[in-house]
A and B are shown apart, each in its own frame.
Chain A
Amino acid sequence: MYRKAEEFEKPLREIEEQIAELRRYPESMQRDVRLERLEKKLAETRDDIYGNLSRWQTTLVARHPRRPYTLDYVAQICTDFVELHGDRLYRDDPAIVSGIAEFAGRSVAVVGQQKGRNTKQKLHRNFGMPNPEGYRKAMRIMQMAERFGMPILTFIDTPGAYPGSGAEERGVAESIAVSLREMARFEVPIIATVIGEGGSGGALAIGVGNRVNMFQHAVYSVISPESCSSILWRDPDHAEEAADALRLTAPDLVDLGLVDEVVPEPPGGAHTDPLAAGLGLREVLERQLNELGQKSAADLVEDRYQKFRAMGTIAAG
């Protein structure tokens, strides 16, 4: 079983290295022919790997250490971003970033979990696992957006809310619950996008949108495959089977009627070409925002209610 995306991406890295080495040679017909051949091989291998990702591999791609994070997308698709801090109650939680920005010609509120790139940043961002104050900060910003009539864009990327003792003492469950309740009633458009990992309640807490999108290689699940495996198989090594059983990929969630649209990723995943991924995201968000902009406040609330009200499968009688 793979533990990291880098493991199954290894063939790609090898070809890339060969290409890089070849480029160091002086230009010649022979070099160019070989380069062309290698680049073709790279594209083919990439299509082969990324065209046939298992659900477990997709999970690893969603957690890829080079994958773009919330602030990367915000920097690319928004202008005049002003980050706002703190829940006014306890502290500022760096695992959630929030603020106001301009997107596609209008002012919006932006909220998302934020992971760190290197060890220091990872610790600072608590690996993207928010504490209750993170959700309360998000709520404060979203309530402000509601007051000023600004659409809300959320970016989901978290293994889950932080399972620490302090989080429990300060009511992480309550902070998530209140977020779910309040987001249900906002009169402004809300668009949620799972950009990487959508880990359970800690992800959904900022996911109650009029539109819910997922990047092509993102995952969204009630529990991580590892934890699911530990509970149901009593052994964490069945994560691969658990990922299949949980059906946690973007196409799976579209099939289940839980996600509206899949944001396409460039060949080889968002981390191969973050700018292309960002362009895809911008296109989807702008189009959806225009659609939602046509709706009255009452319709936005009612549509969002009916959308989530219809989720789930039941047998009557």
Chain B
Amino acid sequence: MAWFRKQRSSKRPVGDRELDTAGKWTKCNHCREIVYRTEILDNASVCPKCDYHFRISSLDRLTALCDDGEWTEFSSELGPVDSLQFRDQKRYTERIEQYQERTGMKDAVVCAEASLGAIPVVFAVMEYSFMGGSMGSVVGEKIALAAERAAATRRPLIVISCSGGARMQEGAQSLMQMAKISAALAKLREAGIPFISVLTDPTTGGVTASYAMLGDINLAEPGALIGFAGPRVIEQTIREKLPEGFQRSEFLLEHGMLDMVVPRTEMKPTLAKVLRHLTGATKSAPSDAVAAEQAIS
């Protein structure tokens, strides 16, 4: 028996962006101000003092973006397979079970049909709390299915990314999902259906290097980490400290990789506006008038 034992606090599974769910008051991770928790929640999980965007779940995102907070999920039956019998310090199958139990989801993405600003759309929303939103076969399959459904039903596709990249535990199969999804998006593009990519904190690795960067319009939430290589890897490579704000949304906007940085509270109206333009919903009235005129003459 040791006389002194270090009290180990249980490790928090995901980054520090999570909003503490215990207690009425909480300390903002960014500005360190003490804020009334409901005040943050009422503000779309954005700190009212400093605009820090806490990470939110895929379901909270859908609730916030879909008209009347309603959507119809599809392909929810698809689940992961440990086809490599992958084992590091823990078996992949154990990890899967653990995350499925914790999140109530089968894998790291939710696909749904819904309306946004009265425009029917197809959504794929990634869930960071499921293995860091990592992209394996299921994420690849579901986003490809979402793109194919968007093409078939001629509904715009919105993908909300939140992922550390490809899932190592599925090896090269995960890698190939990048090609699979990009190919499905190429078809969607040929069909003339809009694809809007929304990047949230974090979006890195193979997710950025495939669908997240392929939107007709790329939007990001403020302050999100977005990149291909992780900041630590880059620092090791160039043997320098990266400047503050490197690979954040604002940096990507400045370097021409994003169309807009959109605060979460304005995400829905912005998406609705963009979709109206891209789907021709704004010009339906005048063009009908022109057609009618031509019909008369």
Measured as residues with beta carbon below 8 angstroms from the partner, the interface class of chain A is: 35 or more
B179 within 8 Å of A (CB atoms): yes
Bound Cα distance A220, B176 (Å): 11
Query: Which residue of B175, B187, B210 contacts A177 across the interface (Cβ within 8 Å)?
Result: B210
A203–chain B nearest beta-carbon distance, Å:
8
Bound Cα distance A317, B138 (Å): 12
Measured as residues with beta carbon below 8 angstroms from the partner, the interface class of chain B is: 35 or more
Of the candidate stretches B4-12, B49-57, B75-83, the one touching chain A is B75-83
CB atoms of B213 and A177 under 8 A apart: yes
B76–chain A nearest beta-carbon distance, Å:
10
Bound Cα distance A177, B159 (Å): 15
CB atoms of B228 and A248 under 8 A apart: no
Given contacts A168-B227, A173-B209, A221-B172, contact A180 B183 (CB under 8 A): yes
- A285 contacts which chain B residues (CB < 8 A)? none
Q: Which of A233-254 contact B (CB under 8 A)?
A: 233, 238, 241-242, 245-248, 252-253
CB atoms of B78 and A173 under 8 A apart: no
- A242 contacts which chain B residues (CB < 8 A)? 88
Q: Which of A163-177 contact B (CB under 8 A)?
A: 163-165, 167-174, 176-177
Closest to B148 in A: A309
CB atoms of B228 and A258 under 8 A apart: no
A292–chain B nearest beta-carbon distance, Å:
18
- A162 contacts which chain B residues (CB < 8 A)? 237
- B233 contacts which chain A residues (CB < 8 A)? 163, 227
Task: Name, among A167, A181, A247, the residue most crowded by chain B CB atoms within 10 Å (CB to CB).
Answer: A181
B67 within 8 Å of A (CB atoms): no
Query: Which residue of B141, B168, B227, B256 contacts A231 across the interface (Cβ within 8 Å)?
Result: B168
CB atoms of A208 and B179 under 8 A apart: yes
CB atoms of B168 and A222 under 8 A apart: yes
Closest to A179 in B: B182
CB atoms of A171 and B257 under 8 A apart: yes
Bound Cα distance A242, B168 (Å): 10
Task: Name, among B84, B229, B237, the residue most crowded by chain A CB atoms within 10 Å (CB to CB).
Answer: B229
CB atoms of B210 and A305 under 8 A apart: no
B174 within 8 Å of A (CB atoms): yes
A288 within 8 Å of B (CB atoms): no
CB atoms of A245 and B84 under 8 A apart: yes
- B190 contacts which chain A residues (CB < 8 A)? 185
Given contacts A204-B176, A231-B168, A309-B144, contact A168 B229 (CB under 8 A): yes
Bound Cα distance A258, B184 (Å): 18
- A168 contacts which chain B residues (CB < 8 A)? 227-229, 234, 246-247
Closest to A129 in B: B237
CB atoms of B234 and A176 under 8 A apart: no
CB atoms of B176 and A172 under 8 A apart: no
A207 within 8 Å of B (CB atoms): yes
A21–chain B nearest beta-carbon distance, Å:
44
Given contacts A204-B179, A222-B206, contact A173 B138 (CB under 8 A): no
* Interface membership of chain B positions 167-203, coded 1 if the CB is closer than 8 angstroms to chain A and 0 otherwise: 1101111111111101111110110000000000000
B223 within 8 Å of A (CB atoms): no
Task: Name, among A227, A304, A309, the residue most crowded by chain B CB atoms within 10 Å (CB to CB).
Answer: A309
CB atoms of A201 and B175 under 8 A apart: yes
A314–chain B nearest beta-carbon distance, Å:
5
A20 within 8 Å of B (CB atoms): no
- B141 contacts which chain A residues (CB < 8 A)? 312, 314
- B185 contacts which chain A residues (CB < 8 A)? 181
Closest to B174 in A: A222
Bound Cα distance A258, B227 (Å): 26
Bound Cα distance A305, B234 (Å): 34
A128–chain B nearest beta-carbon distance, Å:
14
Given contacts A171-B213, A177-B211, A181-B189, contact A246 B171 (CB under 8 A): yes
CB atoms of A313 and B81 under 8 A apart: yes
B214 within 8 Å of A (CB atoms): yes
Given contacts A167-B228, A177-B209, contact A248 B171 (CB under 8 A): yes
- B246 contacts which chain A residues (CB < 8 A)? 165, 168
Q: A-B pairs with the 10 shortest C-beta distances?
A: A312-B137, A163-B229, A184-B183, A180-B182, A232-B88, A173-B208, A173-B228, A311-B176, A313-B83, A176-B209
Taking A164-B229, A184-B179, A258-B176 as given, write out 9 further A-B residue pairs in contact, using a Cβ cutoff of 8 Å, ordered by the A residue number: A163-B229, A164-B238, A168-B228, A171-B256, A172-B209, A180-B183, A222-B172, A308-B179, A317-B77
**Interfacial residues, chain B to chain A (CB-CB below 8 A):** 77-81, 83-84, 86-89, 136-138, 140-141, 144, 166-168, 170-180, 182-187, 189-190, 205-206, 208-214, 227-229, 233-234, 237-238, 240, 242, 246-247, 255-257
24 residue pairs bridging A and B, Cβ less than 8 Å apart: A162-B237, A164-B229, A173-B208, A173-B209, A174-B209, A176-B209, A177-B178, A180-B179, A185-B186, A185-B190, A201-B205, A208-B183, A222-B174, A227-B233, A228-B168, A233-B89, A248-B171, A253-B172, A258-B176, A312-B174, A313-B137, A315-B78, A316-B78, A317-B77
